Amino acid sequence: MRGLDISIIGATGAVGAELIKLLESSQIPVSRLRLLASPNSTGRRSKFREQIYIVEPLGEINDAKTDIAFLSAGSAVSAEWGPRLAAQGALVIDNSNAFRMHPNVPLVVPQVNPSTLAVRPRLGIVSNPNCSTIQLVRALRPLVTAFDIGQIILTTYQAASGGGLVGIDELLHGTRTALDGSAAPSAERFPFPLAFNVIPQVGEIAPEGVTLEERKLVQESRKIFGAPHLRVTSTCVRVPVLNGHSEAVYVEFEEPIRLERINELLANEPGVRLYADGIRDGYPTPRFLEDPAVVHVGRVRVNPENPRALWIWVVADNLQVGAAFNALLIAQLAIANNVIGGT
């Protein structure tokens, strides 16, 4: 296959940096790579496959054709640049919330709904789901396929890196100043200081009291599973973890379930690592994840009070599973299906 012209917009961000690393070690042939960010980052250098690349301001891409454009610079940038880049022939893979619920934009998790990218999307744009959604649907896919689900109730424990590089810095700085007493607690990226705290709000709160993150989990999991009536409800919580989102997920089924069958389904699910008796000891924690490309599942247990319900604990690297790795898998799927612009 010919080398592809690839642009990464938001290349200096938390997700962009992961994407460069994953692209570098992938088999995707790259004939030209453009790294773009805001004017603040112009001139920064990044190494990719033994070459040094200079970060350009996004405006520089104006007249350039590109085969694949990864957008990782927030919803406003995506809303402006996604349609422009697609109109120039690019397949746009968007990490933001800008187009996820658009009826003509596939919302793709390659392990779960690859058929939605069998043909080139009408608008030339593919959306990467929200990080919390990706790990949830990857863990639940075998259960949703095998059984009728009554409802899903979850609490998330979301890392600072979900708020980008600023979020990581805010947690590190806030922790240091709390320990040495050098500054009063302050918050910019999060609603409250995150160090030594938990914050039951991720995203804006709508008038009905549900946050944007909680709404994304409902809408996106319904779209990905093709189940418009799936009942999902959550409380999304920011915790003082640097990277790695965790979720305590309660699933109610229409019929009684057996733990052995659930463990068998999870153990055989590609891209899911099950921590269970006889398979792996213990349970996953976000700080010590061994493989950032898989979804880690533990504490699987049937509710002793209700044989139709179980709890599972789901942990994943939000920057990789929840963003960059999923975007790269989308690109690989699009290449395999020959739906890249200009090919």
Ligand X SMILES: NC(=O)c1ccc[n+]([C@@H]2O[C@H](COP(=O)([O-])OP(=O)(O)OC[C@H]3O[C@@H](n4cnc5c(N)ncnc54)[C@H](OP(=O)(O)O)[C@@H]3O)[C@@H](O)[C@H]2O)c1
The answer to whether residues 126 and 70 touch, using CB atoms and an 8 Å cutoff, is no
Closest CA to 128 of 77, 92, 86: 92
CB of 21 to ligand X, least distance (A): 13
Residue 151, CA distances (Å) to 8, 97, 127 in order: 38, 24, 25
Q: Which of 4, 6, 14, 194 binds ligand X (CB under 6 A)?
A: 14
In angstroms, the CA 201 to CA 191 distance is 8
* Two structure tokens written together for 26: 């992938």
319 binds ligand X (CB under 6 A): yes
In angstroms, the CA 205 to CA 222 distance is 21
Sole residue written with tokens 């009826």: 103
Our answer to whether residue 296 is catalytic in this structure is no
161 binds ligand X (CB under 6 A): yes
Stretch 92-131 residues interacting with ligand X (CB under 6 A): 95-96, 131
Span from 7-15, 107-115, 135-143, 299-307 in contact with ligand X (CB under 6 A): 7-15
41 binds ligand X (CB under 6 A): yes
318 binds ligand X (CB under 6 A): yes
The answer to whether residues 16 and 8 touch, using CB atoms and an 8 Å cutoff, is yes
Our answer to whether residue 102 is catalytic in this structure is no
Q: Which residue is nearest to ligand X (CB)?
A: 13
CB of 286 to ligand X, least distance (A): 12
Q: Which of 25, 27, 40, 51 binds ligand X (CB under 6 A)?
A: 40
164 binds ligand X (CB under 6 A): yes
In angstroms, the CA 274 to CA 177 distance is 38
Span from 113-121, 137-145, 146-154, 156-164 in contact with ligand X (CB under 6 A): 156-164
79 binds ligand X (CB under 6 A): no
58 binds ligand X (CB under 6 A): yes
323 binds ligand X (CB under 6 A): yes
Closest CA to 270 of 329, 338, 331, 335: 329
Contacts of 2 (CB under 8 A, 6+ apart): 29, 31, 343
Span from 142-150, 170-178, 273-281, 314-322 in contact with ligand X (CB under 6 A): 314-322
In angstroms, the CA 259 to CA 256 distance is 10
165 binds ligand X (CB under 6 A): yes
* Two structure tokens written together for 268: 């055989």
13 binds ligand X (CB under 6 A): yes
Q: Which of 5, 7, 10, 241 binds ligand X (CB under 6 A)?
A: 10
In angstroms, the CA 45 to CA 248 distance is 40
**Hey, is 328 helix, strand or coil?**
helix
Span from 8-16, 148-156, 227-235, 249-257 in contact with ligand X (CB under 6 A): 8-16
Binding positions for ligand X, rule: CB under 6 A:
10-16, 37-38, 40-41, 58, 72-75, 77, 95-96, 131, 161-162, 164-166, 318-319, 322-323
Q: Provide the annotated active-site residues.
A: 131, 245
